[in-house]
Amino acid sequence: MGTYDVTARKAHQWTMVVLVALGFVLGEPNGAIPLILAGAIMLVGRFWWPADVVRQFVWRVAEPAGWLPRVERDEDHATRRVARILGGLVWLACAPLLLLGLGAAAWLLAALIAIMVALDASVDFCALCFVMARLDRLGLKFT
């Protein structure tokens, strides 16, 4: 837990949702490109900060230029980082499914993750945090 830039998080999350939506609209097989891009930014950006391109843009351009206001808040990012890895992996896994002709399954999985990301971006509902808290209350420990 710590103080984080909520604006950068939300900008990153909405961009990922838009990329997935764009992939869906483009259809198969071209839709795999934005999906791979979103998955790569999620997964690689988690471990190698220069690849976290949306946050970089927000910090280096959008916030200094005053396009977006910087909002800082105490948030649980430990669980969100795990969610980010899982989301990135699922989106990357969906791309080959699209190319294999399994469009329905791929978009269902991709949409599930995109909806969770959109919920966190819009109403600060961290789905994985909620699930972890529920499991915790049931006595199932993951740490």
Q: 3-class SS at 75?
A: strand
Compose the 12-51 pattern: x for residues touching another protein by CB under 8 A, - for all others: ---------x--xxxx------------------------
CA 79 to each of CA 9, 84, 142: distance values in angstroms, whole numbers, following the listed order: 14, 9, 11
- What number of chain residues touch another protein (CB under 8 A)? 27
Identity of the amino acid at 86: L
Identity of the amino acid at 51: A
Nearer of residues 48 and 143 to another protein, judged by Cβ: 143
Compose the 87-116 pattern: x for residues touching another protein by CB under 8 A, - for all others: ------------------------x---x-
- The dihedral built from the CA positions of residue 139, 128, 42 and 22, taken in this order, carries a sign that is positive
Residue 72, interface with another protein (CB under 8 A)? no
- Is-cis flag, bond preceding 64, omega within 30? no
Give me the least distance between CB of 74 and another protein, in Å please: 5
Q: Give the total residue count for the chain.
A: 143
What is the contact surface with another protein in residues (CB under 8 A)? 1, 21, 24-27, 74-76, 78, 111, 115, 118-119, 122-123, 125, 129-130, 133, 136-139, 141-143
